[in-house]
Structure 1
Amino acid sequence: MTQRPLPEKICPICLRPFTWRRKWVDCWHQVIYCSERCRRQKKSRRAATE
């Protein structure tokens, strides 16, 4: 049996692709960042680019 490929998104902070996880089954459309570390860096990254 072959598995279907999992959905992917690109993290706007580290620019790496990340795949769907079971814990995101109900909120995949709301997931933006690949990790807690990237989520915490969103403010400092945004300020550095402006």
Structure 2
Amino acid sequence: MAPGSNFKGNKQALPSKPCAACGRPMSWRKRWARTWAQVLYCSDRCRQQGRQSAPAP
């Protein structure tokens, strides 16, 4: 659910989901428009923590 071209600045209407590492809510960003389904972490720090805590296959 990506916002259309009629976005008027209401950030409450944007989709959000929790960070996989810390659980904080992440709001949709224009930069993530193409990869929103693959975005898991809110920051580089959480991305590093998420990779470290995941068991190696």
Q: Please tell me the TM-score bracket, short chain as reference.
A: 0.7 to 0.9
Q: 1:39 to 1:2 in 2, by over 3 A?
A: closer
Q: What CA RMSD, in Å, does the superposition of the two structures yield over aligned residues?
A: 2.1
How far apart, in 2, do the equivalents of 1:10 and 1:29 lie?
12
1:1-50 superposed Cα distances (whole Å, 9 cap, x missing partner):
67361110101211110100110011101101111110011133346xxx
Moved over 4 A (4+): none
Instruction: In structure 2, list runs of 5 or more residues that go unmatched.
Output: 1-7
The number of residue pairs the alignment matches comes to 47
**Percentage identity across aligned positions?**
43
Aligned to 2:37: 29
Q: When you count helix as a share of all residues, which structure comes out higher?
A: 1
How far apart, in 2, do the equivalents of 1:17 and 1:42 lie?
16
Give the alignment partner of residue 41 of structure 1, picking from 34, 41, 49.
Answer: 49
How far apart, in 2, do the equivalents of 1:2 and 1:39 lie?
28
Structure 1 length-normalised TM: 0.73
